[in-house]
Structure 1
């Protein structure tokens, strides 16, 4: 059984909360647009439709996915106490979890630390700055700041709330719906690896090589974020995972370009 049961039981329904995640996901996808236009200009230049139509369709798609996958994640995770307790309390006017500021500070700190770890590993592996720092400027910083909402909202909804909950549900199904601690760990690792692999298309579109070494580095470095946020999701809820991911992206996509611009 789960070693860290929540302070309050997870109670449905989930549709209204999922709708909130869908709306937030659509807005986050719109905020991501300046970043995508900067790092993948050729892709958007070749689109057979007006730019505003493509960006609008992308936002709608992200919103629908967050709504659907968010609902599925909430539904599958409810029995195993995987939830978004703070958002649930706000949406459904339920009692809030007890406020423990150290948990929020821990989530933010872990996000910053995993970003610094990624930068360090990337510098050692490539013998020089790559990735975000290649676009070092104040313009890249503000675009990266807007893009950080996408990571914190959309990616955490899809890869933590949905994927981790799905894997835990599947594993628990083999044990009479009783999830053991190792099942949560396996689910977090699997979701983190899939999260890392999901970054490959964007990396290739930005011109990165298709070599096994580059592919492995992209997957593993991004998986580090997934391991941290997945653990926070399990222990404290989706909101803490979102905060950690957002802070990690602020370091990678805002602080790093500003350092390079300086």
Structure 2
């Protein structure tokens, strides 16, 4: 029963992001379909079926990640306040206010760092990618970034992947008795952040060819924020990583607008 409660809580959070991501993906899928020849296009299922299959695929991946986290996270000292409260009925963490400050602060700092690094790289990037980066974000894309990026991706990358990496390394290297050593946590944070960056490459490849600079940019920018969110998960909770990720997406367009005025 406890496993089902945990699955229900995290799946309920993550599925909202998947639905929004599926909706906002429709224009991109339509662009890709428009590039196909009529002969190939005849063999492709209707758009609504493609989007449904994408949603199902992501939902299965979400479920697997949640179950992996359920099996690994608490065993290696990683946790979620929602699960603590609604499943294990533990008292509210006294450090919750501190977590919020760290999360909001790291989200803002990460947005500044990423914007400055991206601005330095802009002159060397392909024109198509520069144009895509400079488009005005609409409210639906922003909400999708907050829900899918801030919640769903954190369940996939931190709760699922990072917890699994920590657990595997702990069992393999036997560093630490009751909990893994700091080095194991740090290695898992970096590796999960690297995977986080790699998973952003297909979306970039849909816009421009993957040159070495484009790949380095994706790994560097996504890796930096991935390390920040992973540190928060390790030190505080899954919700701390989520809040930082959400605030990063909120601060980015605000700070980007300020930088554009100052330029």
**TM-score, length-normalised on structure 1?**
0.83
Q: Provide the residue aligned with 1:71 in structure 2.
A: 67
- Equivalent residue number for residue 55 of structure 1: 51
Alpha-carbon offset, residue 52 of structure 1: 3.0
Root mean square deviation, CA, Å: 2.8
- Cα separation, 1, equivalents of 2:66 and 2:72: 10
Instruction: Kindly indicate whether the alpha-carbon contact (under 8 Å) linking 1:164 and 1:191 is maintained by their aligned counterparts in 2.
Output: yes
Residue ranges of structure 1 left out of the alignment (5+ in a row): 1-11
- CA distances 1:205-259 after superposition (whole Å, capped 9, x unpaired): 1x2231111101111110111101000000111011011111112234x537867
Equivalent residue number for residue 169 of structure 1: 167
Q: Mapping of 1:1-262 within 5 angstroms?
A: 13-39=2-28, 41-43=30-32, 48-98=44-94, 100-127=96-123, 130=130, 133-136=133-136, 140-173=138-171, 174-175=173-174, 178=177, 179-205=180-206, 207-252=207-252, 254-255=253-254
8 A contact 1:229–1:244 mirrored in 2: yes
* Runs of at least 4 residues off by over 6 Å: 256-262
User: So what's the TM-score if we normalise by structure 2?
Assistant: 0.82
Contact 1:196 1:223 in 2 (8 A): yes
Summarize deviations over 1:112-144 as a string: whole Å, max 9, x none: 21122111101111238937643225xx34322
Deviations along 1:141-170, one digit per CA (max 9) or x if unpaired, are 432223321011221111111111111111
Gaps of 5+ in 2: none
> Shift of residue 56 of structure 1?
2.9
Q: Is the 8 A contact 2:22 2:54 kept in 1?
A: no
TM-superposed deviation, 1:73 = 1.4
Deviation at 1:193, TM superposition (A): 0.5
Q: Distance in 1 between matches of 2:102 and 2:79?
A: 19
Work out the CA distance in 2 between the residues paired with 1:44 and 1:112: 37
Q: Distance in 2 between matches of 1:90 and 1:43?
A: 43
**Whole-angstrom distance in 2 between the partners of 1:181 and 1:79:** 15
Deviations 1:45-91 (A, max 9, x none): 56723333333332333222222211211211212111213343124
Give the CA deviation at 1:92: 4.7
Q: Give me the whole-angstrom Cα distance separating, in 1, the residues matched to 2:133 and 2:192.
A: 27
